[in-house]
Structure 1
């Protein structure tokens, strides 16, 4: 038993030593991995929700102004389009619509999923363009509140998306849909 314990301990220590010598990944890869996580969890949830539930919004309590599941998804995508294009110094390629919910014509599961996928592609471009040299560049905020750093714009992709993902998971569970990330 002791030789096995010693072997496991040495393996753990040597693995830690090798990991400590590994170079840190480029900033772009760190942020792109966050975009991949957003894409995986939100994209799979959008695919898992049945088309007939896309207009669902909670009704018990004070929910008069909450977004439907569809609007949660288009809002996530619209903000991703806005911050990604701003981080790239480009014009936003989509209409932001009322309350940043996207164009009113983007409705129905197929259209929403396509819109999300387009936003994820742009987010990957923005994340992969981030470097240690340009991360603190001051760029115009897409929200009309002056300038902000490129790294802040790219960070919004994850935190804003996961804020609305949490709400969307509740919508799915209220409809007896287990989010793919929880399976």
Structure 2
């Protein structure tokens, strides 16, 4: 499988962050493991996922319903054909089922993706996002030292987890820009200004 260099770079950064025991998200302040402590793959990826989930869901909830279909106008740059804010959220919900769906069949994955694509209200889209994060936590909770890097049909469990989290970061960055274009400070930035 060929991974484009920008995605490979994000994947490596995600893995480097996952390996750093001193890394902690400000929103979740559980006891920090002692230097040299062994962390399980599930705990490492779970911590990263929880931090990303908090930022992503908070950002999705911060955009008002009447702005959920916002996409930058082409007068502001080359934005022709970009996803709207709501479409960014739906895309990540769909992708989470791909990255973290585990043994989900291709048919079930397509049905899940199609159902999410049909959603139109903010409440339904945000709920689909939250449901996809529940699935992601279940998947990551099953990663062990023994199975983290065993090849499966889609890649290794550890690789899929890292790629899935990196994918969220890409779309989170786009959502932050959309929020700011609408005069909304992203929730993750509100306490640090």
Per the alignment, residue 12 of structure 2 pairs with none
Which of 163, 169, 172 in structure 1 is aligned with 2:176? 169
Per the alignment, residue 95 of structure 1 pairs with 112
Ranges in structure 2 where 5+ consecutive residues have no aligned partner: 1-32
Which of 51, 54, 70 in structure 2 is aligned with 1:40? 54
Does the CA-based 8 Å contact 2:93-2:116 persist in structure 1? no
Which of 67, 71, 78 in structure 2 is aligned with 1:57? 71
Which has the higher Rg, Structure 1 or Structure 2?
Answer: 1
Per the alignment, residue 132 of structure 2 pairs with 119
Per the alignment, residue 9 of structure 1 pairs with none
Per the alignment, residue 92 of structure 2 pairs with 76
Distance 2:34 2:156 in 1: 31
Which of 35, 39, 42 in structure 2 is aligned with 1:20? 35
Per the alignment, residue 30 of structure 2 pairs with none
SS in 1 for 2:165: helix
Correspondence list, 1:152-163, <5 A: 152-163=159-170
Does the CA-based 8 Å contact 1:32-1:124 persist in structure 2? yes
Per the alignment, residue 135 of structure 1 pairs with 148
* Deviation at residue 119 of structure 1 after TM alignment: 0.4
Normalising by structure 1, we get a TM-score of 0.78
SS in 2 for 1:81: helix
* Deviation at residue 103 of structure 1 after TM alignment: 3.5
Ranges in structure 1 where 5+ consecutive residues have no aligned partner: 1-17, 142-147
SS in 1 for 2:152: strand
Per the alignment, residue 107 of structure 1 pairs with 120
Per the alignment, residue 181 of structure 1 pairs with 188
